[in-house]
């Protein structure tokens, strides 16, 4: 692909930048624990912290203006008093995998709930309003998006006492490219050519194609989980041992894993003595994360002080009436995926299957959408705690959102007519719907999937069987090398991030290019070219136009069956004074900042 050229873009970071932006910035309310769920403001859809064109530039080649970014780090609002870490706080979240993977090479995003920010840290972080700010890198810059230069933070120490240097940054890219598995690693392998050390404070990441939004992929504002690894320790113990005894630069270190039950983290001794560069103060001596799948059990354990904070299915919010609650609004999109849409001759695991993929027929996809009363599902299962979407992943908070597109209606007669014309369901057809039981931020998607299948049974005569499954088992089934979901359905979820490029890579782009395990589409069309062009443009207006084209394509092609963007609710026990959420992100990201009620 042709590489874009432009003038020097520098993202200058520091106190001067904060002063320059002060007249423009809007103060966002911090999430607080209140007797009723309190909405936390989402970052504005127009607040695009990316290179933009200077107004009135007449030349066809865009001129990039310098963007100054404020640099607060995500810290609690407590006054800077001496606090000695003490006590244990116990969390239980629906999305935690029973296997409790401890590092990011295996491709799952869920381990960030207990490892991200606690044990491992990000090159670029986010503040309490969800805006990207410096992390282990203090500056990120490029001139044409074919590479990004990262200036590392000095004075950061790993758990083994050694100070982080440029070789750890380069090595962290090298190890992910070499050992990474799954869709998350596939994204980096598609984007990154290599990393190189320029000097003792700068690492250059060279990309395979220009990407003006690559900095987002190495931040906490994405689900990529790109964490920095102490390379001396990694090289000493190897990939397998590192996965059992991980170390990072966060304030906590891994202590214990009991598969299927919990993970224990303990504050580092040097942090107790000297403090931590980012988390000030560190309140807890230990943090434990539990796997408690049953919702009612989680709530009962919270009420009996066996747990201190849990997330709950919105359908059960009445069971926590009177407890302090914190809500993160519209952060997780849910849908019913259809496997698979595309040219089966291009996919080895599909090409010998008899017949064509059932969902290639747009009449089938349209019938499946029209046969479901999503409004009733929103009212009964989600208790009104969901905003319907016309296109999976897109709400008003996403850049380039197209408000002219409307959610699909409920029209049983038209659905039956379309299904009849398409010969759907064919004789003897049995559909399995795989219900993801650890869908981050939207635990109610299991019940919602069952409701969708029930509508299909009643209105279209589809024989639907339901199979609960954890994502660790579902993901390999949904890869092109397996193809186990042939002519079946499942319940994908996605974080509703302001930058739609994250959704393109994870849930909307075709598998051939984007390696997504959430997408219904295997092979590609013009919509995937628009997605690739999105990353290569320095102009937000051009990106917004591409975003609208992508939305319209999905809406016109009835892919997949969108349910909506659900709210996430956390219930707090008496030990927790304040819990910080990540606005627009459902991963329970700021657990290390949780304030005790002492």
Residue 75's pLDDT band, with cuts at 50, 70 and 90, is: very low
Nearest Cα neighbor of 596 from 580, 569, 574, 570 is: 574
Question: 587: cis peptide before it, omega within 30°?
Answer: no
Answer yes or no: do 78 and 181 share one domain: yes
349 and 482 Cβ atoms separated by less than 8 Å:
yes
Answer yes or no: do 296 and 333 share one domain: no
- Is residue 316 a part of any domain in this protein? no
Answer yes or no: do 242 and 190 share one domain: yes
How much is the pLDDT for 3? 34
Residue 517's pLDDT band, with cuts at 50, 70 and 90, is: confident
Answer yes or no: do 411 and 543 share one domain: yes
DSSP, collapsed to helix, strand or coil, labels residue 411 as: coil
Mean pLDDT of 356-375: 97
- pLDDT tens for 193-230 read 999 999 999 999 999 999 999 999 999 998 889 999 99
Distance CA 470, CA 413 (A): 35
> Burial of 36 by CB count in 10 Å (0-12 exposed, 13-18 middle, 19+ buried)?
exposed
Answer yes or no: do 351 and 244 share one domain: no
- Is residue 277 a part of any domain in this protein? yes
Answer yes or no: do 516 and 580 share one domain: no
- Is residue 348 a part of any domain in this protein? yes
Q: 50 lies in which domain range?
A: 9-308+573-596
How much is the pLDDT for 107? 64
- Is residue 1 a part of any domain in this protein? no
Higher pLDDT, 349 or 169: 169
Write the CB contacts of 459 (distance below 8 Å, at least 6 apart in sequence).
Answer: 371, 412, 415, 416
Write the CB contacts of 249 (distance below 8 Å, at least 6 apart in sequence).
Answer: 120, 121, 136, 156, 157, 158, 159, 164, 228, 230
Domain count across the chain: 2
Answer yes or no: do 156 and 216 share one domain: yes
Residue 594 in tokens:
């949780």
How much is the pLDDT for 51? 37
Answer yes or no: do 478 and 588 share one domain: no
Answer yes or no: do 289 and 336 share one domain: no
Write the CB contacts of 537 (distance below 8 Å, at least 6 apart in sequence).
Answer: 4, 212, 543, 546
- pLDDT tens for 77-95 read 444 446 899 999 999 998 8
- pLDDT tens for 557-591 read 999 999 999 999 999 999 999 999 998 888 888 99
Distance CA 42, CA 495 (A): 13
CATH number at residue 456: 3.10.105.10
In this structure, of 24-33, 119-128, 154-163, 283-292, the range with the lowest mean pLDDT score is: 24-33
- Is residue 464 a part of any domain in this protein? yes
How much is the pLDDT for 49? 41
CATH number at residue 190: 3.40.190.10
- Is residue 314 a part of any domain in this protein? no
Share of the chain above pLDDT 90, in %: 73
Query: The whole model's pTM is what?
Result: 0.83
Residue 366 in tokens:
């349209």
- Is residue 4 a part of any domain in this protein? no
Answer yes or no: do 387 and 474 share one domain: yes
Confidence check: pLDDT of 67 > 50: no
- Is residue 452 a part of any domain in this protein? yes
Answer yes or no: do 552 and 584 share one domain: no
How much is the pLDDT for 16? 34
Answer yes or no: do 102 and 48 share one domain: yes
């Amino acid at each position: 692909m042709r590489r874009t050229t432009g003038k020097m873009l520098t993202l200058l970071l520091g106190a001067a930048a904060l002063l320059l932006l002060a007249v423009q910035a809007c103060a966002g309310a911090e999430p607080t624990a209140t007797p009723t769920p309190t909405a936390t403001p989402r970052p504005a859809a127009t607040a695009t912290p990316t290179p933009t064109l200077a107004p009135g530039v007449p030349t066809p080649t865009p001129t990039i203006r310098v963007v100054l970014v404020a640099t607060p780090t995500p810290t609690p609002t407590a006054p800077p008093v001496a606090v000695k870490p003490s006590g244990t706080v116990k969390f239980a979240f629906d999305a935690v995998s029973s296997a409790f993977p401890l590092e990011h090479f295996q491709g799952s995003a869920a381990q960030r709930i207990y490892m991200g920010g606690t044990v491992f840290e990000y090159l670029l972080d986010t503040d309490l309003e969800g805006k990207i700010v410096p992390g282990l890198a203090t500056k990120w810059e490029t001139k044409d998006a074919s590479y990004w230069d990262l200036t590392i933070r000095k004075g950061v120490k790993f758990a083994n006492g050694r100070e982080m240097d440029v070789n750890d940054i380069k090595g962290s890219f090298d190890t992910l490219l070499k050992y990474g598995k799954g869709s998350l690693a596939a994204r980096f392998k598609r984007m990154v050519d290599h990393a190189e050390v320029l000097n003792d404070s700068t690492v250059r990441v060279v990309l395979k194609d220009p990407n003006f939004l690559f900095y987002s992929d190495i931040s906490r504002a994405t689900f990529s989980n790109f964490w920095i690894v102490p390379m001396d320790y990694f090289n000493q113990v190897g990939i397998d041992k590192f996965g059992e005894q991980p170390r990072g630069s966060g304030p906590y270190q891994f202590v214990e894993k009991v598969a299927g039950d919990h993970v224990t983290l303990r504050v580092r001794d040097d942090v107790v003595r000297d403090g931590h560069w980012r988390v000030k103060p560190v309140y807890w001596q230990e943090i434990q994360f539990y796997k408690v799948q049953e919702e009612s059990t989680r709530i009962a354990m919270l009420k009996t002080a066996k747990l201190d904070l849990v997330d709950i299915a919105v359908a059960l919010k009445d069971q926590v009436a009177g407890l302090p609650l914190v809500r993160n609004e519209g952060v997780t999109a849910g849908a019913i995926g259809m496997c698979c849409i595309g040219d089966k001759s291009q996919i080895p695991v599909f090409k010998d299957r008899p017949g064509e993929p059932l969902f290639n027929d747009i009449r089938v996809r349209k019938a499946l959408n029209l046969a479901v009363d999503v409004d009733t599902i929103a009212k009964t299962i989600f208790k009104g705690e969901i905003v319907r979407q016309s296109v999976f992943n897109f709400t008003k908070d996403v850049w380039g959102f197209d408000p002219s597109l409307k959610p699909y209606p409920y029209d049983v007669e038209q659905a039956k007519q379309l299904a009849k014309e398409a010969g759907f369901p064919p004789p003897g057809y049995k559909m399995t719907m795989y219900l993801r039981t650890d869908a981050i931020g939207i635990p109610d998607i299991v019940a919602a999937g069952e409701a969708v299948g029930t509508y299909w049974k009643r209105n279209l005569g589809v024989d639907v069987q339901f199979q609960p499954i954890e994502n660790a088992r579902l993901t390999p089934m949904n890869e092109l090398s397996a193809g186990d979901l042939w002519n079946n359905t499942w319940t994908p979820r996605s974080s509703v991030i302001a930058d739609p490029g994250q959704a393109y890579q994870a849930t909307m782009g075709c598998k051939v290019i984007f390696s997504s395990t959430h997408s219904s589409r295997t092979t590609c069309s013009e919509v995937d070219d628009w997605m690739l062009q999105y990353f290569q443009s320095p102009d937000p207006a051009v990106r917004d136009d591409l975003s609208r084209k992508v939305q319209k394509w999905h809406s016109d092609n009835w892919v997949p069956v969108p349910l909506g963007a659900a709210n996430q609710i956390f219930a707090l026990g008496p030990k927790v004074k304040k819990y910080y959420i990540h606005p627009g992100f459902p991963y329970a990201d700021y657990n290390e900042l949780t304030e005790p009620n002492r």
